[in-house]
Chains A and B, each alone.
Chain A
Amino acid sequence: MIAELGHLALVLAFVLALVQASLPMIGASRRDPFLMSTGSTAAIGQFVFISLAFAALIHGYVVSDFSIENVFLNSHSTKPLLYKISGAWGNHEGSLVLWVLILALFGAAVAVFGRNLPAPFKARTLAVQGIIGLGFLAFMLLTSNPFIRLDPAPLDGRGLNPILQDPGLAMHPPMLYLGYVGFSTTFSFAMAALIEGRVDATWARWARPWTLAAWISLTFGIALGSWWAYYELGWGGWWFWDPVENASFMPWLAGTALLHSAIVVEKRETLKSWTILLAILTFSLSLLGTFLVRSGVLTSVHAFATDPERGVFILALLVVAIGGSLALYSWRAPSMQGGGLFAPISRESALLLNNLLLATATATVLLGTLYPLFLDALAGPKISVGPPFFNATFVPLMVPLLVAVPIGSMLAWKRGDLRGVVARLSAAGLAAVLVAVLCSLYIDWTGTAAALGFALAAWLVAGSLNDLAFRIGLFRIGFARSLERLAGLPGSAWGVIVAHAGLGILVAGITASSAGQSERILTMKAGDETDIAGYTVRFEGVTNADGPNYEARRGTFVASLDGEVVARLHSEKRFFPVEGRPTTEAGIDTTLWRDLYFVLGDEAGPGLFTVRLYHNPLVIWIWGGTVIMGLGGFCSLVDRRFRIGVPRMAQSHAVAAGARA
């Protein structure tokens, strides 16, 4: 009964999406206030009904109602409750429900918080949002209904891929989708602006919080996914340039470019049509990401079901959404007037350079991801493009970008003084050189490339601190006044400083863990000792450690440094009988400076086990730096000057004050 109600709720949401996609658009062109206002009502209603459908699906999972096919295929009565719930979105149909739920959430948020938007603009934005919802709800109802019943109901479920039974992965898709789908709002804003033929500083101000919110979620989502791959897949790596990872990375790169170019529109009213194009491309890449994961056009390590018939439907959706929006762009964008002029050395130029490099990087990742597809379509061999391609193309694009970051953020608008900025950044430059020299002298695995990486990391972190010191006038005005300025520094300034410093920490983590990783693969039996990166590792043998829904063998390792025990690690090899699949639980000891990462392999003989031992320096800095970047975005998001509705509130206060006087 509850499942049928869920299905009904989806149908009603579809009907409301139809209303939302059409009436407000007509209303906006006829300037009819009633028709325009239907947009908000429909958006909120759509959110309510999709929430009901989502709750119905979660209910089916929680009570293990195996008469629902989706629950039967993806759950099992012995599964822990958390994974029963996360199992709801660990599969194709359920993840689509989550997708449209988040889409409707953003639509409702625009309806509720967008009170300061002009009515026609808001109506058009909501209508575009409605069209996207319409497409995805139709896709779900026609090809991927999560509420199909089985009769007779099976006694127990088929379980969930055990590799997906993990707290990190329970949270990964919701975060990622908040990012992917969040960019739909910026896309809708861009579409509405194209229809109205007007983009200006206010437009950028409206779009800013939505873009930031999506960007922050996507940043956290990617970090979670990479962290999960690190500790769960047991390969000692954290990024594999896998098509599905690239699918989330491309919108992030484009979204980062968008975030920066939107600042130029906001402050200087130029780069308008480029910013609109980026808004379209960012969401298009999110849609493409969905397509790559769902349709199976690219084979990858990710464990979702592949289905070509659904792929055809998604391709049709892509052609309408991306093709349609780009066609609208080619028609309307040429008439947009550019704003203020700027000199080659200026904040605008620096942001343009940022955009060019990020866009090229996005194109490179896109090419590498789709190249096997092109080759296959041309009847070439089936290949996959791996890390060597991406390392050879992506890294050289990032180096000039990273060098330019501190300089760009200190240049003035319109015409900058490069010599002055370089002089101001001399402390950061000194720090970078010092770090490079110290690393080459004292860390034995540091080659030229690694020294350059550390120098860049130091340049970014020190550059951010340098920027902060300059902004608060440290050492130039009195200390007390500096503190005063520090307290009064706006959120967006903090955002730039924190995010760029986080980027530096990320670069340090990537450099160290790629250049400095030590790996040993050998067979050990209980009592054997070996060493890795200065640590002595003793293997204490294997015991049984069965869990609620798996059988496991647990190997124990003791790592010591100079005769002193520093860590006891347990590495497990689990076998899930219901699913018939093994998983690897690496034993990981994390400190700020290094990870010890031990993996228990197969039994190679009686009591003899294959083991893989890794020493990963600074690897936690990767996720630490990413989280700091996200927090930087958060600082910028809460900046009072940009809080939605503020101008209007200030106005009404002024009116109230006037009335009192």
Chain B
Amino acid sequence: MNRRWLFLLPVLAFAGIAVFLGIGLTHDPSKLPSALLDKPVPRFELPGLDGADLDGEGLSSADLADGEPVLVNIFASWCVPCRVEHPYINALAEEGIRVVGINYKDKPEDARAWLAGLGNPYTLIGSDRDGRAGIEWGVYGVPETFVIDGSGTIRYKHVGPVQERDLRNAIRPVLEEIGR
């Protein structure tokens, strides 16, 4: 009788593994926790993208703590997924949500041409040519989107292109929660 139990071990062990695999599937692999979550935005100061009809104004940490919620979108003209998410960012800006951009490791002329072609949703753009500010922000891959509340605290981080589903399930609820 004892021997029979021994033969049940493999199937029981596999059942255990299957449960964990199942739980693993419910976790979104792109949802990496940010060490900066619920912390103030890192200190940074970036020059602007000349000629992106923003008068060449740059972006700094002070711009993100002026009492109004804001989305920080990290983008680059060389990044294919950025092209995919861009219409959603444009739509958010049209609704009146304030969006600022950090142009990551990009040439300003390429970025300007890219925005001229696809539309510019950003009220301010900082040009992070050497990726130094990206390190401060803990950028894992482009695109990334951060939700910042009025006090300049990071409330949510999204890795990868923003899709309809992400807006509905995560970004909009967070925006509503922080008063928008």
Contact = CB atoms under 8 A, between A and B. Distances in A.
A315 B18 contact: yes
17 contacts: A297-B25, A297-B29, A298-B24, A298-B29, A306-B30, A323-B15, A323-B18, A326-B14, A329-B7, A330-B4, A330-B10, A330-B11, A373-B21, A376-B27, A377-B24, A382-B32, A382-B33
Contact of B11 (A158, A299, A323, A334): A323
A281 B22 contact: no
A283 to B, nearest CB: 13
B3 interface: yes
Given A299-B29, A322-B14, A373-B20, A158 B80 contact: yes
B23 interface: yes
Contacts of A239: none
B8 interface: yes
B116 interface: no
Contacts of A312: 25
B66 to A, nearest CB: 33
B78 interface: yes
Residue from the set B7, B10, B21, B30 with the largest chain A CB neighbour count within 10 Å: B21
A377 B23 CA distance: 6
Interface in B1-51: 3-4, 7-8, 10-11, 14-15, 17-18, 20-30, 32-33
A114 interface: no
Given A373-B21, A579-B80, A273 B7 contact: yes
B79 interface: yes
Nearest to B80: A580
A308 B27 CA distance: 9
B24 A376 contact: yes
Nearest to A299: B29
Interface in A367-416: 370, 373-374, 376-377, 381-382
A580 B107 CA distance: 13
B23 to A, nearest CB: 4
Interface of A: 158, 273, 277, 280-281, 284, 291, 295-299, 306, 308, 311-312, 315, 318-319, 322-323, 326-327, 329-330, 333-334, 370, 373-374, 376-377, 381-382, 579-580
A326 B4 contact: no
Contacts of A580: 78-80
Nearest to A273: B7
Given A318-B18, A329-B10, 10 more contacts: A158-B80, A277-B10, A297-B21, A297-B29, A298-B24, A318-B21, A322-B14, A327-B11, A330-B8, A376-B27
The 9 nearest A-B residue pairs measured at CB: A326-B11, A377-B23, A297-B24, A580-B78, A330-B7, A296-B29, A330-B8, A373-B24, A311-B25
A329 B20 contact: no
Contacts of A318: 18, 21
Interface residues of B, number: 26
A333 B21 contact: no
Nearest to A377: B23
A306 B29 CA distance: 8
Contacts of A381: 33
Nearest to A328: B11
A323 B14 contact: yes
Contacts of A306: 29-30
Contacts of B17: 370
Nearest to B1: A334
A297 B7 CA distance: 29
Contacts of B28: 308
A370 B25 contact: no
A291 B22 CA distance: 11
Contacts of A330: 4, 7-8, 10-11
A374 B19 CA distance: 10
B22 A315 contact: yes
Most buried by B among A318, A334, A370: A334
A291 B21 contact: yes
Contacts of B27: 297, 376-377
B28 to A, nearest CB: 7
B149 to A, nearest CB: 24
B93 to A, nearest CB: 24
B24 to A, nearest CB: 4
B36 to A, nearest CB: 15
A444 B104 CA distance: 46
A344 B78 CA distance: 65
B11 A319 contact: no
A583 to B, nearest CB: 14
A61 B33 CA distance: 39
A72 to B, nearest CB: 13
Given A318-B18, A377-B20, A326 B25 contact: no
Contacts of B20: 370, 373-374, 377
Nearest to A284: B14
In the complex, which of the residues B14, B20, B26, B28 has the most CB atoms of chain A within 10 Å of its own CB atom? B14
A162 B65 CA distance: 41
A344 B79 CA distance: 63
A593 to B, nearest CB: 40
Contacts of B4: 330, 334
A320 to B, nearest CB: 11
Contacts of B29: 296-299, 306
A281 B10 contact: yes
Given A334-B3, A377-B27, A382-B33, A315 B21 contact: yes
Most interface-central of B24, B33, B80 (chain A CB within 10 A): B24
Contacts of B33: 381-382
A396 B37 CA distance: 41
A601 to B, nearest CB: 14
A629 B18 CA distance: 34
Nearest to B26: A308
Interface in B146-168: none
Nearest to B19: A377
Nearest to A381: B33
A398 B33 CA distance: 37
Contacts of B21: 291, 297, 315, 318, 373
A308 B25 contact: yes
A326 B80 contact: no
Contacts of A158: 80
Nearest to B8: A330
A577 to B, nearest CB: 8
A582 to B, nearest CB: 9
A334 B3 CA distance: 7
Highest count of chain B CB atoms <10 Å: which of A295, A374, A579, A580:
A580
A34 to B, nearest CB: 35
Which among B8, B11, B23, B78 has the greatest number of chain A C-beta atoms within 10 A? B11
A108 to B, nearest CB: 30
A492 B78 CA distance: 56
B25 A295 contact: yes
